[in-house]
Amino acid sequence: MFENTALGWDDVFADHGGHSILIAELTLLVQVAGWKVTVRDLLSGCNTARRVSTLPRDLQQTSEPPPAATQFDRRCSERDEAVAEVLSIRHFATLQALFLLLLYSPHLMGFLALVAVVRISELFLSAHLWEFILVGFLIYSLALLLPFANVLWVMVIKLFLGGDIYRSGVRPGVYPKWSRVHLLTWCIEQLGQSVLRPLRTTIRSAPLMAWALRRLGATVGDNLQCDHDVEFSGPLDLLSIGDDVAIQTRAHISMSRWVGQELHVGPVHLESGCKICVGAGVANDVTVGRGSWITPLTPVLSDVGPEEMWQGAPARFGGRCTELKRTASSCQYVFPFWLLEALNILMQVVLEFCLLVLPAAAVSWWAATFIFVGEAERPSGYFEVALRQEIVLHIGLYAFITTWVTLVLISVLDCVFLRCTSASPGLYPTRGLRGALLLYRVRKLNQIQRLWTWTLTGQYLRALAGVGFPRLGASECEPDDQPRPGACQRRLPGVLVPWLLHEHARSWSPVPEALPARHASKFLRQQQLRCRIRTAPLQLPPGSLDSGE
């Protein structure tokens, strides 16, 4: 492992060329040899060969093959050999292009029909605000109906491909790259994304997400709480979800994954009451037991027992977890679920129309009045008599101004909305309007974060939304080493952000949901440095948390 360096029993690994990748490889080899160590162990307490040798060793692992390898061998023997035939790359790519053409042919035909029927030039020259608002309302209505129309088209394609509107026909197993199963799995993923992607963009609703997953072939129980940006890969008919399952933002549920040049396909079972936290991943051929908890950023590659908590990378057993009675007793519903969910969808539609459609229509009308119409009315046949260069120049100028002014205006309106609808910390029922409004506000703040990232403009917009900063106009990437004299911490009441519970429940630190993965460790180090400057950690009194929370 260390090339030409001869290590002694008491030589520290990191002092003799043991970089992070080398330590990770060494960890895997030591684990295969029977010692239960992690990367952190080899970099801290067990950083020498002598210290590793003092740890308990499981000798059975050296004589028996790994369970995952045994499972993959069994899957390989059970696979469908008829569809394991490898295609040529040219044939594979041609079939992919034809499938995409088939999948999006209704959208292309609808767009061409719209261009042929509607005279867009008259819309620009009319310069009436109500016409722009009407067009925006029609476009938004079509966007709302798009996921449901795509569901019908996906069912038709599945019926044409495999003879079943719900099942994909892919059997669990190990298949080579460029095989027919590889192509079929890719096609099934494209069908699922054509439904889930517009549904995530338009409406955030857990029952609608569960309905879409059922239509795509998944087995889904009652009361599924699935975030709008959860990633699903592989055939969804191999996914089984029990009752009261929670899947948080940016989690990844994979019924298929690549191991080298082989595609591993297998079922995923999420039993009732389990929780898949932020950024966690569940691989194929994995069962997550009843009431289990997969902590954030934890990749699970093996079965998880009931009421277990798994953490770390690679995932390992961390303890037992129990359901909180306080949460169940605090979240009681007075009205039926269907009424609350209908009000939730109606609230989102109205807010999106006011915060997105109306500003976009107003900016489009305003730009058209001085670009295409101006102070003096142009003739109705402007697009027929004007020079082509003039038309291209005016359309390009119109698109540039409309895009940028619309983005800025919508961002400012969203921040003002976030500031005016502040929420208080506490427990919120997921199906209530207060909880739905809170999730909608988090979604809006994440959209602003993704659009403006960590720029100064984004900082000013987040400050307008209610996020507190020690001082505006400063860099958010490098912490201040010393506090400025007279500087005070401004706590603006507006935004409620997710919180990260530190180990042993000693303190809480705010962590943005839209934080890029490459900035995660830097952000946490930055927060640890700033906690002495900005504010002291919140000390939790004994007994303030229930057992297992």
Element (H, E) at 264: strand 262-265
Angle at 313 between CA 309 and CA 317, to 5 degrees: 25
Look at residue 350 and give its three-state secondary structure: helix
pLDDT at 517: 43
pLDDT at 39: 79
Domain presence at residue 74: no
257 and 383 assigned to the same domain: no
Domain presence at residue 520: no
Final residue of a structural domain among 323, 347, 365: 323
Question: Scanning the structure block, which residue is given the tokens 């038709």?
Answer: 156
pLDDT at 492: 35
Neighbours of 70 (CB within 10 A): 11
Domain presence at residue 200: yes
**Burial bucket for residue 441 (CB in 10 Å: 0-12, 13-18, 19+):** buried
pLDDT at 330: 62
Measured CA to CA in angstroms, residue 67 lies from 14, 61, 73, 301 at distances of 31, 10, 10, 11
Block mean pLDDT (10 aa), the chain, length 549: 75 77 80 79 80 74 42 50 81 94 92 77 68 89 93 91 81 90 92 92 89 94 89 93 91 92 92 92 93 92 91 85 66 78 92 94 85 52 69 84 93 94 80 85 90 88 86 61 39 37 32 43 43 41 42
Half-sphere exposure of 125 (CA within 13 A, CB side): 13
Domain presence at residue 26: yes
Cis peptide, bond prior to residue 176, ω within 30 of zero: no
Residues 6+ apart with CB under 8 A from 36: 55, 56, 58
Half-sphere exposure of 210 (CA within 13 A, CB side): 20
Measured CA to CA in angstroms, residue 358 lies from 66, 109, 136, 409 at distances of 59, 28, 8, 11
Amino acid (1-letter code) at residue 369:
T
CB 125 within 8 A of CB 373: yes
pLDDT at 152: 94
Within 288-432, where are the H helices? 325-330, 337-352, 358-368, 382-385, 388-420
Final residue of a structural domain among 457, 472, 495: 495
102 and 166 assigned to the same domain: yes
Residues 6+ apart with CB under 8 A from 146: 198, 202
171 and 319 assigned to the same domain: yes
Token pair belonging to 194 = 């054509």
Amino acid (1-letter code) at residue 239:
L
CB 401 within 8 A of CB 367: yes
25 and 111 assigned to the same domain: no
Domain presence at residue 250: yes
135 and 55 assigned to the same domain: no
Domain presence at residue 133: yes
49 and 169 assigned to the same domain: no
Domain span holding position 462: 337-495
- The whole-model pTM stands at 0.71
39 and 121 assigned to the same domain: no
Domain presence at residue 349: yes
191 and 287 assigned to the same domain: yes
Tell how strand 286-288 and strand 508-510 pair up.
unpaired
107 and 60 assigned to the same domain: no
Final residue of a structural domain among 18, 37, 66: 66
Give the torsion sign (CA, 204, 207, 211, 214): positive
Gap between the Cα atoms of 343 and 519, Å rounded: 37
**Burial bucket for residue 338 (CB in 10 Å: 0-12, 13-18, 19+):** exposed
The total domain count for the chain is 3
Amino acid (1-letter code) at residue 203:
I
346 and 459 assigned to the same domain: yes
90 and 14 assigned to the same domain: no
277 and 152 assigned to the same domain: yes
CB 449 within 8 A of CB 512: yes
Domain presence at residue 511: no
